[in-house]
Amino acid sequence: MKQRLGRQLAAGAVSVSLGAALWHAIGVRPTPLVSLPALVSDAIPASGVSHPVTAVLLNFRSYDTLLEIAVLMTAAVVALALREEQTTRTDTPASARVRYVVLDTLVWRLVPLLVLVAGYLLWIGSKRPGGAFQAGSVLAGAAVLLRLSGFAITPVDHRLVSRIAMTLGMVIFLCVAIGTALAGRELLDYPVAWSGALILVIESALTISIGVVLFSLFDNAPQQPRGLSR
Amino acid sequence: MIGLTFDALLGAALIATATGALFSRDLFRGVVLFVVFGLLMALAWVRLQAPDLALAEAAIGAGLTGALLLDAIGHLKRRDAADAGHENSPSGGAS
Amino acid sequence: MSADRLYAYVGAALVALSLYAFLVHTHLLRRLLAFNVMGGGTFLILVGLAQDGRGPDPVPQALVLTGIVVAISATALAIILLRRWFVFSQATALPEDEAQ
Amino acid sequence: MNGSALLPWMLVVPLSWATGTVLLAHRRHAYTHAFNTVGSLLLVALAATLYWVTREHGPTTHALGGWSAPLGIGLRADGLAVTLVLLTAIVSGACGWYARTSERTERQGKGTSQRYFWPLFWLLITALNGIWLADDLFNLYVGLELLGLSAVGLVALGDGEASLSAALRYLMAALLGSLAYLLGVALVYASYGTLALPELAGLLSREPITQLALALMTVGLCLKTALFPLHGWLPPAHGVALTPVSAMLSALVVKGSFYILFRLWSDVAESVVTPLAAQALGALGAGAVLWGGWQALRESSLKMLVAHSTVAQLGYLFLFFPLAVGTGASAAALATQGMLLHLVAHALAKSAMFLASGTLIASVGRGGVSDLAGVGRHMPMSLFAFGLAGVSLMGLPPSGGFNAKWLLLQSALAGGQWLWLIVLLSGGLLTAGYVFRVFRESFRDPDPGGGRFTTTPRAYDWVALALATLSIALGFASRSPLAFMTNGLAVMVRGQ
């Protein structure tokens, strides 16, 4: 009990001082001399898209996005690795679950709508808010919804087709990167005339992969082996 | 002025739901409050003129993270209801 | 005070609050909640403080979008490890912490 | 050949191999082994070319996406970055070879999760190269996260329960560390409006917000580098992982976050750091040297002993700060050289030591230091590799470790800071203590009933021996690589 109190006091001291320091710092922040938003809006016409956030994500700072997809892939790979060890996976077959008619109808109405929304978000991303990440996560959300309501949707496991779907975004992104490098340009420096099309291709592939990976992180979470206690 | 009042209220609500999510005795309740927190964050992003973030926060921050956490609670509760369901007593495991 | 700065202050409060929670909780799921709230607070500071007095800035917004995806990857990875570990050990806190 | 055109391949190659190994994960091992061998050789060849080109033609940069900073993200290849890229290629190549050998021989009966070793291996290399070459504050954050998560994944692939709890503990530290770093990045961007390191170097000034930002980034990076007393996560993670993973984690991964810290303190935020903070970091480093060494002396498991030795050896890196900040040009230059040489020599020696330990454990069948009795006669080669690595870690001549510690010592003398001399010397004694402890046990006669050893593949010994020899060879030829590494660094010569 004493140790717990000590821990609370120490944690309290650390976080209160951090909070106070942040509070103070926010109040006395100097005004920046560099203005990136101005640079962004100057460069937008050459970026291939008109929505600034998309331009930053997939053109100006596309390398960040490439590494970010690698982070997502890391999580997916670990999930696959730890899933595979389980020989006694206790997936409840969809038919065995109790289904509620209302839920069913709701899901059947909702899921196609979500897929439509995802497609719209992907398409609109070049001009307005939206893009691969939002679209991919909406797709994943639709799949999670289906799985939660007991529908037998195909698991994202170690079959080749799943692994292709997971890595599709990375493969396309890398192909574009290698293409630009082989053409003697800087890495991921799209030719201006092609940049709109290339970004759309990359984003479409990313949408699929992000959707599949995010769903796989949900679907591949380890289960308790039934009736097996150690 | 009305805008700023709304922002202040939203900020207070963010802090309140975060407190609930972090310190409620029942972990399930905590996760539900975290989802609410995520939705309020999405509103905050709208107020900060960041609609991309509002969309992403609602879908990922609140939706998928919430689903992952809720599923995990179900998993962790299966054997160990006392620990997962209530405020963990740190000495409980090491009797 | 501008709305942007107000949200930066809210972010600071969230960071302090969740740091405390991260340090005192031993239940790993609670620590993950704290991590996610801390992430939210950091993102609010990143966007709010950068935009304060300067209008919308797409760069920090794009950075936060990246941050959100990284955060869910980390959260999912942690949950997978935790669930797998729970299968073996029936514990939800780290052994070192439980001994306290 | 153009150095700038070569740069992005240091990222594209490992990332392509990561993707390729995900797709190949369930093919026959012969295919994946051939694929990975080609990848490692290609990486070494590219890194060596980049090293050579940079040596001939000087540092280069690369504007990713064709957008120059601050709008875009830059890569930068100076002597230090290129040396670390080559070091990564060599150490990871050696560890990859070890891993392939172990897959071929010990595969039966092991968990199949190790199929996914290779994607994580390549993702780790991507992250490392990304960090060495980075020139952008936020890009470094993404690199740090990639490094942390792939390292945690690799730890989790070890056997059983202990590897999972070690991975979880590692992950919690990594997450907290990178959020602290990100918070610092947020404050910097809000105050200066840019993330590009070269620009920030000219802009940062000693404002309260900048100091807070630097403090946050420093704490986060120290947590990720396992600086005493934030080192608790390291020994279990490095001690329980698969042997080639332990080697890469200790040799390279913890150096990633330290490298960022070094760049920030010496290149970017030179005008913000204070001698007091530097002394504090040095004191913690000294604590690490003593505490880690002491723990290694008392440790009963061989791999945990080597892991505690990593905690101690990381402490030496932090002696750089008090030796270089505010001490004058010559002391700072010596400290920089000593610290960088120590970083490289430790990477080579520690990876050799982990690989040799893994081989000894594979031969004995158990992991305790006291189980080694009699192994000296059966496994002379592994023990020799262990000993060579030990020589460099102790800082005995001739070795890279000796030269490094000699430089640090001279820096302490030049700056008149006698206290750090004591730390350097007692650290060496503690190291000698735990290395000789392993030798004493190995040459003890086995207990009756013990002393049955399995024969291990020859390749294990060659790999460990090659790395250990390199760490010794660095003692004969450290001048020219050092001059190359420190060339172009804005060492803190502008101090008081």
pLDDT tens-digit profile of B69-78?
A: 999 998 887 6
Least confident of A215-224, C56-65, D165-174: A215-224
> What's the rounded Cα separation, in Å, for the pair D302 and D246?
12
Nearest to A53 among C54, C58, C69 (CB): C58
User: Tokens 């030795």 map to which residue?
Assistant: D309
Residue B48 pLDDT > 90, yes or no? yes
pLDDT for residue A157: 83
Residue D251 pLDDT > 70, yes or no? yes
Beta bridge partners of D61: D76
pLDDT for residue A50: 94
Mean of pLDDT values over D321-346: 93
Spatial contact of C18 and B20, defined as CB atoms under 8 Å apart: no
More confident residue, D89 or D458: D89
Residues from chain C that touch D161, judged by Cβ atoms under 8 A, are 85, 88-89
SS3 D76: strand
Residue A60: DSSP 8-state: I
CB neighbours of residue D490 within 10 Å: 12
Residues from chain A that touch B91, judged by Cβ atoms under 8 A, are 1, 4
Please answer yes or no on whether A40 and C53 come within 8 Å at the CB atom. Answer: no
Smallest CA–CA distance from C42 into chain D, residue: D183
SS3 A149: coil
pLDDT for residue D450: 67
Instruction: Give the dihedral sign, CA C88/C90/C92/C97.
Output: negative
Averaged confidence pLDDT in chain D = 92
Beta bridge partners of D64: D73
Smallest CA–CA distance from D192 into chain C, residue: C50
Residues from chain D that touch C38, judged by Cβ atoms under 8 A, are 179
Residue B84 pLDDT > 70, yes or no? no
pLDDT for residue B75: 85
Instruction: Give the helix ranges, DSSP H, for D107-136.
Output: 117-133
Please answer yes or no on whether C74 and D232 come within 8 Å at the CB atom. Answer: no
Mean of pLDDT values over B27-48: 96
Nearest to C13 among A19, A65, A79 (CB): A19
Residue A96 pLDDT > 60, yes or no? no
Task: Indicate the burial class of D273 (C-beta count within 10 angstroms; 0-12, 13-18, 19 or more).
Answer: buried
Mean of pLDDT values over A65-77: 97
Size of interface C-D (CB pairs under 8 A): 81
Please answer yes or no on whether C80 and A18 come within 8 Å at the CB atom. Answer: no
Residue A177 pLDDT > 90, yes or no? yes
Averaged confidence pLDDT in chain B = 84
Any CB–CB contact under 8 A between C7 and chain B? yes
> What's the rounded Cα separation, in Å, for the pair D317 and D319?
5
Chains with 3+ CB–CB pairs under 8 A to D are: A, C
Please answer yes or no on whether C85 and D161 come within 8 Å at the CB atom. Answer: yes
- Residue A202 tokens read as 């990359």
Closest CA relative to residue A220, chosen from A107, A112, A83, A122: A83
SS3 D261: helix
Closest CA relative to residue D439, chosen from D396, D382, D401, D398: D382
**Per-residue CA distances from D102 to D121, D154, D303 (Å):** 15, 16, 17
What lies within 8 Å, CB to CB, of A159 at 6+ separation is none
Least confident of A104-113, C4-13, D413-422: A104-113
Task: Indicate the burial class of A112 (C-beta count within 10 angstroms; 0-12, 13-18, 19 or more).
Answer: exposed
pLDDT for residue B83: 44
Confidence at D487, pLDDT banded by 50, 70, 90: confident
Quick: pLDDT tens for A1-16. Answer: 678 899 999 999 999 9
d(CA C32, nearest CA chain A) in Å:
15
More confident residue, B80 or C39: C39
Nearest to D209 among A28, A71, A164 (CB): A28
Nearest to C89 among D138, D161, D179 (CB): D161
Helix (H) or strand (E) segment spanning residue D246: helix D243-248
Quick: pLDDT tens for D17-36. Answer: 999 999 998 777 788 899 99
Least confident of A102-111, D242-251, D323-332: A102-111
> What's the rounded Cα separation, in Å, for the pair A40 and A52?
7
Confidence at D399, pLDDT banded by 50, 70, 90: very high
- Residue A160 tokens read as 């080749």
Q: At residue B1, what is the residue type?
A: M
What lies within 8 Å, CB to CB, of D65 at 6+ separation is A59, A60, A61, A62, A63, A186, A187, A188, A189, A190, D72, D73
Confidence at C66, pLDDT banded by 50, 70, 90: very high
Please answer yes or no on whether D23 and A167 come within 8 Å at the CB atom. Answer: yes
pLDDT for residue A225: 63
pLDDT for residue B94: 33
Least confident of A148-157, C3-12, D221-230, D454-463: A148-157
Please answer yes or no on whether C69 and A78 come within 8 Å at the CB atom. Answer: no
d(CA A223, nearest CA chain B) in Å:
7
Please answer yes or no on whether C100 and A3 come within 8 Å at the CB atom. Answer: yes
Q: How far is CA C49 from the centre of its chain?
A: 18
Nearest to D25 among A43, A66, A158 (CB): A158
Confidence at A101, pLDDT banded by 50, 70, 90: low
Instruction: Give the dihedral sign, CA B20/B24/B30/B32.
Output: negative
Spatial contact of D294 and D327, defined as CB atoms under 8 Å apart: no
Residue A153: DSSP 8-state: P
Nearest to C29 among B27, B48, B94 (CB): B27
Quick: pLDDT tens for D39-74. Answer: 999 999 999 999 999 999 999 999 999 999 899 999
Spatial contact of B89 and C64, defined as CB atoms under 8 Å apart: no
> What's the rounded Cα separation, in Å, for the pair D427 and D393?
10
Mean of pLDDT values over D183-195: 96
Mean of pLDDT values over D364-390: 91
Mean of pLDDT values over B33-51: 96
Q: How far is CA A137 from the centre of its chain?
A: 6
Mean of pLDDT values over A186-213: 95
SS3 D3: helix
CB neighbours of residue A106 within 10 Å: 13
Chains with 3+ CB–CB pairs under 8 A to A are: B, C, D
Beta bridge partners of D62: D75
Nearest to D66 among A39, A171, A185 (CB): A185
- Residue D190 tokens read as 């809000």
Interface mutation target, options D144, D163, D189, D240, chain C, most CBs of C under 10 Å: D189
Q: Which of residues 181-210 of D touch C (CB under 8 A)?
A: 182-183, 185-187, 189-190, 193
Confidence at D106, pLDDT banded by 50, 70, 90: low
Spatial contact of C6 and C36, defined as CB atoms under 8 Å apart: no
Beta bridge partners of C62: none
Rounded (10°) CA dihedral A125, A129, A135, A140: 160
Closest CA relative to residue C26, chosen from A8, D71, A39: A8
Interface mutation target, options D149, D163, D168, chain A, most CBs of A under 10 Å: D149
Mean of pLDDT values over B43-68: 94
Closest CA relative to residue C17, chosen from B48, B33, B20, B8: B20
- Residue D469 tokens read as 């020899």
What lies within 8 Å, CB to CB, of C84 at 6+ separation is A82, A222, D156, D164
Residues from chain B that touch C92, judged by Cβ atoms under 8 A, are 76, 80, 83-84, 88
Any CB–CB contact under 8 A between C44 and chain B? yes
Mean of pLDDT values over D176-188: 97
Confidence at A95, pLDDT banded by 50, 70, 90: very low
Residue C44 pLDDT > 50, yes or no? yes
Quick: pLDDT tens for A42-57. Answer: 999 999 999 999 999 9
Nearest to C20 among A12, A68, A72 (CB): A12
Averaged confidence pLDDT in chain A = 87
